[in-house]
Structure 1
């Protein structure tokens, strides 16, 4: 079975299992990430670009996934299923196409017909025409797009500019705490945010944390 036939079969099965999709303009979004986005949510039919952190990109999908929405990842062969599961993505409703050959945006457009949120790592040679066609498809079907890297016309660009880890102590133990410094760029201007994870899960704002001593650029 070729890739196009496989994608069509996925479309049919997802449609049968999820006859109704989330219809709101603002999709369910983790409370910890709402300050990063205009309107406080991922928007159906719109794109959010994320640079510097795959974990942050996955976290953006987690709340919609938790409500039962189908999500997907296209062109992300290095995606870790354990990391996706820890951050809250439901693997039983998560479609992954790690190697879409030369048809990355075409596959994304086809799956956008049945998925609520798509995580995409686009090829570097993506043309303006391909971007325009995919944007039209997203708007037609009300699918939110989260892009790893830059993306023309994105509603929001999120840049993870630095990270800090904790948990090793004096050379023992394991890394558990992860703090990201994120710069958001959207119609509100530029803003700086701090997002925290513990063992791969988002930490609600306001919870006290240990001081994270080890800084490293992402």
Structure 2
């Protein structure tokens, strides 16, 4: 009986993988602010984890801005300190956002229900045992997200997140010699997808005019001596 050589087996496996890739449905891209696209492109069915530390909330509102500005619905669950003014300055259309600030123990049920009506759901899981999401639950919710063509951003740990984002090394500008006020913050933002090399960008988040830009405006760079840049 003839047997396949290792090279023939590898060729067959490669062809099978190509067929699977061709058969896999293409996921719908959600609108993402241009300044963030080099970092992460939101896609329907995706789950994204954002470190809630320094700059995490601002980064999340920047991601929420894309879909809502394009006319889609967003939702924010479990964030009682949601900064509506800061989110609006970053481009979030507040009239397109459903807020459930204190869902209590029903937070996961609230997220599952909102998948039916919102394209992007932001959730801050509770701390402790009540906030733990099992692999099984995460898998079921991910399947629901794919079916409904929605995406989820978790402000905190989430199993099976396809991209994990962190912000670090914040710098504030505007303090001068103590006679000014904080006007702009420079963050180094990193995105990790599985074992792939991390992507990093530096963003003024927000810039002096409260918008989001990928690099400091030229006049800010030139004027740092009198603006002052301080570590937070």
Answer whether TM exceeds 0.5 for this pair.
yes
Would you tell me which structure has more strand in proportion to its own residues?
A: 1
CA distance in 2, matches of 1:159, 1:185: 9
Where does residue 195 of structure 1 map in the other structure?
Answer: 203
CA distance in 1, matches of 2:115, 2:180: 42
CA distance in 2, matches of 1:32, 1:54: 17
CA distance in 1, matches of 2:181, 2:151: 35
Runs of 4+ in structure 1 off by over 6 angstroms are: none
Unmatched tracts of structure 1, length 5 or more: 1-22
Aligned CA distance change for structure 1 residues 26 and 206 (closer, same or farther; 3 Å): farther
Alignment of structure 1 residues 1-218 onto 2, 5 Å: 25-37=28-40, 41-51=41-51, 52=53, 53-123=56-126, 124-187=131-194, 188-196=196-204, 197-198=206-207, 199-205=209-215, 207-208=217-218, 209-210=220-221, 211=224, 213-216=229-232
Aligned 8 A contact 1:27 1:43 in 2: yes
Aligned 8 A contact 1:105 1:134 in 2: no
**Cα deviation per residue 1:29-64 (whole Å; 9 max; x = unaligned)?**
011111111xxx201011111112100011011121
Structure 1 residue matching 2:109: 3-state secondary structure? helix
- Report the count of equivalent residues: 191
Unmatched tracts of structure 2, length 5 or more: 1-25
CA distance in 1, matches of 2:102, 2:140: 21
Structure 1 residue matching 2:68: 3-state secondary structure? helix
